[in-house]
Structure 1
Amino acid sequence: MIKHLTFAFVLSACSIALAQAAEDAPAARTFHFGPLQVTALHDKTNDIPDDGKVFGANVGPEAVAGVLAAAGAPTDKVSLDVDALLVQDGKKTILIDTGLGPNVQGLLLQSLAQAGVAPEQITDVLITHVHGDHIGGLVTAQGTQAFPKAVVKISKPDWQWLQGQANMAALIKVITPQVKTFAPGDKVAPGINSVPLKGHTPGHVGYQIVSGQSRLLDVGDLVHSSIVSLAQPEWAITFDDDRDEGIATRRAELKKLADSHETIFAPHFPFPGIGQIQAEGDHFIWVPAK
């Protein structure tokens, strides 16, 4: 979601308006998919003003406010969670994305502790894409590796793109010894395949988790708001590197998910972000897991 991050984790200009919600607190909620245990981990909740700079940049804030009002939500802001997903199979302890990081008041490590897992127990970190709210937690407040025993897997296009960002040089230096790249579409861990989701960043991927007959797709930033992104998937969001491609991918993938009834994890939907996409007329709605 957030495109740039300094080593001190000061948010870039595109996200200055984000404000931490007063009710933020660590949280961990576990679900079982066959023999797999997956746990949603809360990092932070942010409010983005409805000012036409992020959501609905091609339609204006009044149109966005209308969608929010129809859903019974405040019309002056769009609230987004920043969450991560923990996957445990008895052998590996895998973390998908790492949140904003402790220097931007990220709560991921506290939420991980609630799940009974120490940072040193993480064996693999899978990154959906290299925006700051997904990789910021790869380092500690002291600038060291947050998950020192983990392999950090990032798609090759995104890793190359990240290395071209001068203000990320310090973070890159810290994590480089851990990084292993892959091609979008590759298998990245037992039972987990990467899924290309084009448009958001050059190598943005989701992660398809398969456990027996159970399937769960971490959709990364395919969608952001559980209201706006589903009611109007054709509306542009400025976080997408290629807005036209992002719109096309969002519409196509949402239709597939609604048709398949597959369970997803959406890291920016209201915690715990696990549920299903349902078609309703020419748009979609969110059905949270119970």
Structure 2
Amino acid sequence: MLTRRSGLRAAFGASLGAGLLARPGAGFAAAPQRGGQVAAWYRFRLGGFECTVVSDGAIALAPPHPTFGAGVATPEQVEQALRAAFLATDSLPVQLNCLVVNTGRALILLDAGVGPQPLFGPGTGRIAQALRAAGIEPAEIDLVAFTHAHPDHSWGIADAAGADIFPNARYAITARDFAAWTDEAMLAQPAPIRDFVAGTRALFLPRRERFTLMPPGAELVPGIRAVPTPGHTIGHASFLLEDGGRRLLVLGDVANHHVLALRRPDWPFAFDSDPALAAETRRRTLEMAARERLELLAYHFPWPGLGHVEAAGQGYAWTPSPWTWG
């Protein structure tokens, strides 16, 4: 009940607070703005596997159209889909979510980020820092397996000077992707593909003896199998992890955005090598994941990229997995 006394007390408290905050003095100096972010890592278990998502940072795709939907959607349709999801309409920030799997016998890194490449802006090149923050030395990695050879998944094996980030690791990639993205004839392609090929050749060819070229469906180690998911690149593979009755599908670039690629999986993506095949693979993979309630790790989805999909409208909707502690 408001009385004269309680009203005066409230008014006095408000004026005292305002006066204290407004009064100059050393005790009220403004705290400096720090900037930057922490090294991002997130750990969870999959049966007997200890899994750690580590971030190489983020890149921005711009403009959203025609990056998505070229030839089949208007810029207004793409903008509407982003606005409906409360997202910016001028640029698409996408994460670089790499996964370390400790099987108990080996440390396996699935995709390696882009590394410190000016081509992709200043927000990348964080994987070594994130690994160390998670208690993993890059030199401890036994195998780096790539979903495909695009720069944002494979160039992170070297630092800005070209030296090994993972000096003791072997590498694995599908034979088709290795051949396609180291082919000298591909240097005749227009930019940016020409630049991608040149950079990949410069990293892969000097390390050729450390590469294992995977056939379709290859088993990396017991419990981790490559699943052919072509279209984004000719030899693109996802990775299916199974242990202790649990399963996780590491998507790679089957879907590149948690709204646009899911809500409209038939919309082409600008960096798909074969847009029609990529769309077919995307819809087939998402339908299987929804039907089987399969947990996904999506490389470019909001950190840490773990979640499930369900059928919704003309496509699918993304439900992030709850963060777990301990």
* TM above 0.5: yes
Matched position secondary structure for 1:110: helix
In structure 2, what is the equivalent of residue 35 of structure 1?
48
**Aligned with 2:158 (options 114, 130, 139):** 139
* Structure 2: 5+ residue stretches without partners: 1-34, 119-123, 188-197
Partners in 2 of 1:68 and 1:289 — Cα distance?
22
Q: Which residue of 2 aligns with 1:19?
A: none
Q: Greater helix share, 1 or 2?
A: 2
What whole-Å deviation, never above 9, does each CA across 1:187-243 have from its counterpart, x for those lacking one? 122211100001011110000001120000101000011011111001000111000
Match in the other structure for 1:203: 235
Post-superposition shift, 1:114? 1.3
- Report the 3-state secondary structure (helix = DSSP H, G, I; strand = E; otherwise coil) of the residue aligned with 1:170: helix
CA deviation digits over 1:71-117, x for unaligned, max 9?
12122222211120110122110000000112443211111111111
Q: d(CA) in 1 for partners of 2:37 and 2:287? A: 32
Larger radius of gyration: 2
Q: 1:51 to 1:258 in 2, by over 3 A?
A: closer
**Bigger RCO of structures 1 and 2 (CA < 8 A, at least 6 apart):** 1
Alpha-carbon distance in 2 for matches of 1:137, 1:202:
21
CA drift at 1:69: 1.0
Partner in structure 2 of residue 11 of structure 1: none
Alignment check: 8 A CA contact 1:25 1:107 kept: no
Q: 1 CA distance for matches of 2:290 and 2:88?
A: 26
Counterpart in 1 of 2:22?
Answer: none
Residue 51 of structure 1: CA displacement? 5.0
Q: Which moved more, 1:118-127 or 1:142-151?
A: 142-151
Aligned-pair CA distance for 1:26? 2.1
Residues 34-93 of structure 1: CA deviation (Å, up to 9, x unaligned)? 111111111122222235231111213211101011112122222211120110122110
Residues 26, 60 of structure 1: alpha-carbon distance in 2 compared, 3 angstrom cutoff: farther
Correspondent of 1:66 among 80, 86, 100: 80
Which residue in the other structure is 2:60 paired with?
A: 47
CA distance in 1, matches of 2:89, 2:160: 35
Alignment coverage as a number of residue pairs: 269
In 1: Cα distance, 2:59 partner to 2:75 partner: 18
Aligned residue number for residue 215 of structure 2: 183
2:263–2:312 contact (8 Å) kept in structure 1: no
Find the partner of 1:88 among 79, 102, 105.
Answer: 102
Contact 2:309 2:318 survives alignment (8 Å): yes
1:256 maps to which residue?
A: 288
Structure 2 letter corresponding to 1:216: L
Structure 1: 4+ residue segments shifted above 6 A = none
Partner of 2:4: none
Q: How does 1:107-122 map to 2 (within 5 A)?
A: 107-122=126-141
**Structure 1: how far apart are the matches of 2:212 and 2:160?**
23
> 2:64–2:78: 8 Å Cα contact kept in structure 1?
no
CA distance in 2: counterparts of 1:203 and 1:103, whole angstroms: 24
- Measured in 1, the distance between the counterparts of 2:280 and 2:220 equals 26
CA RMSD of aligned residues (A): 1.5
TM-score computed with the length of structure 1 as normaliser? 0.89
1:139 is displaced (CA, Å) by 1.3
Gaps of 5+ in 1: 1-21
Instruction: Please say which of residues 178-187 and 206-215 is displaced more in the overlay.
Output: 178-187
